Amino acid sequence: MVLSGPARWVLRILAIAVLTFVYAPLALVLLNSFNASATFAWPPSGFTLDWWSAAAGNEGVRSAVLLSVEVALLATAIAVVLGTLASLALVRYEFFGRDVVSLLVLLPIALPGIVTGIALNTLFTQALGGLTFVTLVVGHATFCIVLVVNNASARLRRTNATLEEASTDLGATPWTTWRLVTFPALRGALVAGALLAFALSFDEIIVTTFTAGPGLQTLPLWILQNLFRPNQSPIVNVAAVGLVVISVLPVYLAYRLSGDSATATTK
């Protein structure tokens, strides 16, 4: 469809307006992280790196970042293993109730986070004895699995299953077929899914609120709890910028990797 000149200009203006609405607040947080004024006077009277130094030396921020990374890495590892197995079962095999299982796998990310959080909190506190570091990791893994399943399933549907059948016909064991045929085809999709899962886990706050044990404070929780403390406001802005950067970078890498892998697959 070819658009007229006025229509193109309208679409451009609307696109700019939407992007400005979405990203202007992020830009403001970034500017305030360098704002020399502790009260964020506007326009800024000057710029400083003092808040970044203060954030780097803040024990609460460092502990929260470390915990967020640990939880995200463990949740991602669980998601990659279980998500890969689930995608292989859902795509490569026919069995009774496959559509129902597929829906149940995708449901955690489709449900509102507060519903998932309350359900997990009820399970952990009433049936498993309370909230701990393990419950936090498991809670994050429940929605991270979906991303791996989606990426791996999409790649499996584009990969010809006859390659695996030919490997079996030639005498290869299931492990050899997986190692030399299936896994190389899935590798890019699994890495992309893992990156997306890490990013989603790292900045998750709703499920974290309901599944984190006593004394466990991830970076999003630290930001939320210090957001309205005037003496912490400059450091909160720095932490928020760091959270955005650490979350966006894996998403960008996953996007590039998925695009490159898809191009290579279609060639």
Q: Which of 221, 220, 83 is nearest to 143 (CA)?
A: 83
The one-character DSSP state at 131 is -
**Helices then strands (H, E): number in the chain?**
12, 0
pTM reported for the whole predicted model: 0.83
CA distance 226 to 184: 45
Higher pLDDT, 21 or 40: 21
In this prediction, residue 3 carries a pLDDT of 58
Task: List the domains of the chain with CATH numbers.
Answer: 63-266 (1.10.3720.10)
In the Cβ-directed half-sphere of 154, how many Cα atoms lie within 13 Å? Answer: 16
Kind and range of the H or E run holding 202: helix 183-202
**pLDDT value at 265 more than 90:** no
In this prediction, residue 137 carries a pLDDT of 93
Q: What is the mean pLDDT of the chain?
A: 84
Query: Which residues, 6+ apart, have CB-to-CB distance to 243 below 8 Å?
Result: 202, 203, 219, 220, 223
The two most distant CA atoms of the chain are separated, in Å, by 73
In this prediction, residue 2 carries a pLDDT of 55
Instruction: Specify whether the CB–CB gap between 153 and 91 falls below 8 A.
Output: yes
- β-bridge mates for residue 35, sequence order: 47
Compute φ and ψ for 47, nearest 5 degrees: -125, 150
CA distance 213 to 195: 25
Q: Dump pLDDT digits (tens) for 32-71.
A: 788 777 776 677 777 878 888 888 888 888 999 999 999 9
**pLDDT value at 264 more than 60:** no
In this prediction, residue 75 carries a pLDDT of 94
C-alpha R_g of the chain: 23
Q: Dump pLDDT digits (tens) for 114-130.
A: 888 898 999 898 888 88
